[in-house]
Structure 1
């Protein structure tokens, strides 16, 4: 399974990065390929390429604020799971519907 994610929080500092780490960790545990774009105080880091988005089986938006350049995900709405950074940090298995 290929997972891509975009994380962002209101301040763009702690939860953005904590959520990214939680997603990467659970994907690694499951043996899934994963790339995470972080949209924080420093701007967009590890920007997802269009080929990554196209190849993804699951797209996770873990954000408290709107994501930048959201038009890149148009046409892939059926693959998107919307959640909050806090929820992913607390229990990352929610992105796979395990809780």
Structure 2
């Protein structure tokens, strides 16, 4: 399965990066391809392309604040799983409980 994710937190520092790492680790452990975009204090890092978004089987939003450039996800709303960074950090397996 191809999974893409976007993480962002209120301060744009620790939880954005911690949740990104948790998502990468759990997805790889399950044998899935994964790419994570981090929206933090440094702006958008590892930005997802249109083809990556549209080609994803699942999209994970781990955010406490709005997603920048959210219009990129307009055509794939049915693939989006919305969580908080805290949920992903505490229990990354939550991503696969909805599948």
The two structures have a TM-score, normalised by structure 1, of 0.97
**Structure 1: 5+ residue runs without aligned partners?**
none
Determine whether 1:71 maps to 2:81: no
1:32-43 paired onto structure 2 within 5 Å: 32-43=32-43
Tell me how far apart the structure 2 counterparts of residues 97 and 87 of structure 1 sit (CA, whole Å).
12
- What's the CA shift string for 1:51-76, capped at 9, x where partnerless? 10011000000000001000000010
Instruction: Give the 4+ runs in structure 1 shifted more than 2 A.
Output: none
Tell me how many residue pairs correspond in the alignment: 98
Per the TM alignment, residue 97 of structure 1 is displaced from its structure 2 partner at its CA by 1.0
Structure 2 Cα separation of the partners of residues 43 and 27 of structure 1 = 24
Structure 2: stretches of 5+ with no match in the other structure = none
For residues 84 and 22 of structure 2, what CA distance do their matches in structure 1 show?
12
Residues 1-99 of structure 1: pairs in structure 2 closer than 5 A: 1-97=1-97
